């Protein structure tokens, strides 16, 4: 996507809806330009009438007119800036809204392929560069261009010969700005990448705080932090150095130009071709033109930063889901809850040579518990992830009550499924809201019943604020067992026909273990349950067991049948016996 395409996209998708505010801001920018030009022009009669001719009649009028011009300039500039601030913040809201909307609905594969820190950097730093492009660059472009035109008009009105000499400065400043802008585009992208790297590192520091402590890696992490911060410092210095590089260029051009103009003006005055009042008015216009010329010269840098940020943000907004839905997809209706895998193969990356799953065939009967066992990396979690379409298989089909999940809408599919993962995920919110996440319209009684049946109410009632207790980031203020019980309560509240359960491998005390097992038994009663089993009790209570090894089904049957027929299962079972 080139610069023109990006500008068109930003205008039509995010800026056009605010066009009335932008036009009103430009009207005020026109008033600013007119008032500045009138100030320069009024110096001609001020010098001529008040100081040379000493016209007493204009002694009050001209100062009042100059004061009015300054007042108009001040208020107009204020209103112009406020309007563009409102527009830029609207654009920020829409950009961040589109980014978050796309990220929230994105495939699991897409989210797992991005680092949280990089996304946060794009949401904050990159969006700010785009809002600067709109709030600063657009207003500056129109305000200073109009001001420059007005001041050039004053200069030509006072003396066209001097004006022709003065406008030589404009193409010189433009050339300097264009050269610096090209350099800025590259450096701006590098700076944004480094900002993303720093955010990524910060997220990892917060997530792994205890790990750093236990391995005593404070010095190591301090050295890494210093490297990231130092990289950011270098890029910031480079950007700001390029930005201020315009100052010596503009100051030198202005100084040379003024020297030439004074020399040439002196010759014109001595030849009676220029009055002293005209010269002062021209010089004032020339000096006032310095600021807009300088602003326009550095404008290319702000534009480059904004467009560079857009090249990082727009691909996130445009990223399409790989989980495709068709208009012909039907609403899934789950009754018995029978699930069948037919020759299902899968791999996480297309570039991988080997599949994670190879021609997997499974039959899981409604209202029954099916356990999936196998060594780590065998493909157990992948089977669970394919059922709610977190990922799509590369071949084969998955049926629920003889309905293909690939010919049903994703929302109707997931509406019938609850997931209890070993990696319990909770929000930094109240206990009530964490349970109610499964059903936002649930009554307090329904929430309390779910907590009661999951044995979560036992610890909730002991808390000072009970259901209104804030549990911290990912439930950090709760124990492992308490978090698991909240997760089970949340699944209970959804009342789904199909339960996907990835049992926690972490060891709990016997009492908590029993309570969680009782809660799971209540959750899974008369429901289709597929469980990645780690507990021996779960395996023994299963109606059917599938043994997975290297992405293939190498055994199926009941516990007794597999002990006889499956060497892999027998080895797995013996390991569980030793653990228990």
Q: Are residues 151 and 254 in the same domain?
A: yes
422: in domain: no
H-helix or E-strand containing 512? helix 510-524
Q: Are residues 116 and 156 in the same domain?
A: yes
Spatial neighbors of 86 by CB under 8 A, at least 6 apart, are 18, 21
Q: Which of 290, 318, 346 is the last residue of a domain?
A: 318
144: in domain: yes
69: in domain: yes
Residue 448's pLDDT is 92
Beta bridge partners of 559: none
Q: Are residues 71 and 133 in the same domain?
A: yes
119: in domain: yes
Assess contact for 373 and 571: CB atoms under 8 A.
Answer: no
Residue 572's pLDDT is 78
3-class DSSP state of 473: helix
What helix, strand, coil percent values describe the chain, rounded to 5? 65, 10, 25
Q: What is the pTM of this model?
A: 0.75
Starting at the earlier edge strand, list the strands of the sheet with 357-364: 357-364, 339-346, 395-400, 403-404
Residue 309's pLDDT is 85
204: in domain: yes
Rounded (10°) angle between helices 510-524 and 444-453: 120
Assess contact for 181 and 303: CB atoms under 8 A.
Answer: yes
Q: Are residues 169 and 51 in the same domain?
A: yes
Residue 509, domain CATH: 3.40.50.300
Residue 245's pLDDT is 72
Assess contact for 533 and 374: CB atoms under 8 A.
Answer: no
Q: Are residues 234 and 184 in the same domain?
A: yes
Residue 177's pLDDT is 64
Q: Are residues 57 and 72 in the same domain?
A: yes
Task: Report CA torsion sign: 229, 235, 238, 244.
Answer: negative
421: in domain: no
Residue 182's pLDDT is 65
Q: Which of 271, 291, 318 is the last residue of a domain?
A: 318
Q: Are residues 241 and 153 in the same domain?
A: yes
Q: Are residues 189 and 337 in the same domain?
A: no
Residue 180's pLDDT is 66
Q: Which parts of the chain register pLDDT below 70?
A: 1, 173-174, 176-185, 210, 214-215, 246, 351, 504-509, 576, 578-580
Spatial distance between the Cα atoms of 456 and 482, rounded to a whole number of angstroms: 7
Q: Which of 495, 522, 537 is the last residue of a domain?
A: 495
Residue 373 — left, alpha, or beta (φ > 0 → left; ψ -120 to 50 → alpha)?
beta
Q: Are residues 361 and 483 in the same domain?
A: no
Q: How many CA atoms, within 13 angstroms, populate the side-chain half-sphere of residue 289?
A: 28
Counted domains in the chain: 3
Residue 265, domain CATH: 1.20.1560.10
H-helix or E-strand containing 532? strand 528-532
Residue 124's pLDDT is 81
Q: Are residues 488 and 518 in the same domain?
A: no
Spatial distance between the Cα atoms of 356 and 324, rounded to a whole number of angstroms: 21
Residue 282's pLDDT is 85
423: in domain: no
Task: Residue 507: give the domain boundaries.
Answer: 326-416+498-580
Q: Are residues 62 and 162 in the same domain?
A: yes
166: in domain: yes
Q: Are residues 275 and 403 in the same domain?
A: no
Spatial neighbors of 220 by CB under 8 A, at least 6 apart, are none
């Amino acid at each position: 996507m080139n610069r023109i395409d990006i500008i068109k996209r930003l205008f039509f998708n995010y800026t056009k809806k605010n066009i009335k505010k932008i036009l009103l801001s430009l009207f005020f920018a026109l008033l600013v330009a007119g008032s500045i030009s009138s100030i320069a022009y009024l110096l001609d009669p001020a010098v001529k009438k008040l100081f040379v001719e000493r016209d007493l009649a204009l002694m009050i009028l001209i100062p009042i007119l100059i004061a009015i011009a300054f007042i108009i300039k001040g208020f107009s500039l204020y209103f112009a800036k406020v309007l563009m601030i409102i527009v830029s913040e609207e654009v920020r809201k829409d950009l961040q809204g589109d980014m978050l909307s796309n990220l929230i609905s994105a495939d699991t594969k897409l989210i797992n392929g991005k680092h949280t820190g990089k996304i946060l950097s794009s949401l904050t730093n990159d969006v700010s560069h785009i809002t600067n492009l709109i709030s600063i660059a657009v207003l500056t472009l129109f305000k200073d261009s109009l001001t420059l035109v007005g001041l050039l008009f004053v200069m030509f009105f006072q003396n066209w010969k001097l004006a022709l000499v003065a406008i030589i400065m404009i193409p010189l400043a433009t050339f300097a700005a264009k050269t610096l802008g090209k350099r800025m585009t590259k450096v701006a992208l590098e700076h944004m990448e480094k900002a993303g790297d720093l955010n990524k590192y910060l997220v990892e520091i917060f997530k792994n705080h205890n790990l750093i402590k236990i391995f005593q890696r404070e010095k190591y992490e301090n050295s890494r932090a210093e490297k990231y911060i130092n990289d950011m410092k270098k890029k910031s210095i480079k950007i700001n150095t390029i930005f201020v590089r315009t100052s010596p260029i503009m100051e030198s051009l202005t100084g040379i130009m003024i020297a030439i103009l004074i020399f040439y003006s002196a010759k014109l005055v001595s030849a009676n071709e220029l009055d002293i009042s005209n010269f002062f008015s021209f010089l004032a216009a020339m000096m006032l033109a310095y600021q807009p010329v300088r602003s326009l010269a550095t404008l290319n840098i702000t534009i480059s930063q904004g467009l560079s940020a857009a090249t990082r943000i727009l691909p996130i907004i445009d990223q399409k889901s790989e989980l495709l839905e068709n208009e012909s997809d039907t609403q899934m209706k789950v009754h018995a809850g029978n699930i069948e895998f037919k020759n299902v193969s899968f791999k996480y990356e297309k570039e991988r040579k080997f599949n994670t799953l190879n021609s997997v065939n499974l039959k899981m009967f409604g209202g029954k518990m099916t356990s999936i066992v196998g060594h780590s990396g065998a493909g157990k979690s992948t089977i669970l992830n394919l059922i709610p379409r977190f990922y799509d298989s590369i071949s084969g089909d998955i049926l629920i009550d003889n309905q293909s999940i690939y010919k049903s809408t994703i929302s109707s599919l997931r509406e019938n499924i609850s997931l209890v993962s070993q990696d319990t995920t909770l929000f930094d919110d109240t206990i009530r809201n964490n349970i109610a996440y499964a059903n936002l319209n649930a009554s307090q009684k329904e929430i309390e019943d779910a907590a009661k049946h999951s044995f979560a109410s036992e610890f909730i009632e002991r808390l000072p604020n009970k259901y209104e207790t804030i549990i911290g980031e990912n439930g950090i203020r709760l124990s492992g067992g308490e978090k698991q019980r909240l997760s089970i309560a949340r699944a209970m509240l959804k009342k789904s026909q199909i339960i996907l359960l990835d049992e926690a491998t972490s060891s709990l005390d016997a009492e908590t273990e029993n309570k969680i097992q009782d809660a799971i038994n209540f959750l899974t009663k008369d429901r289709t349950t597929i469980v990645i089993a780690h507990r021996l009790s779960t395996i023994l209570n299963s109606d059917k067991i599938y043994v997975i090894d290297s992405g293939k089904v190498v055994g199926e049957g009941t516990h007794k049948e597999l002990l006889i027929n499956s060497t892999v299962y027998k080895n797995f079972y013996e390991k569980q016996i030793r653990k228990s």
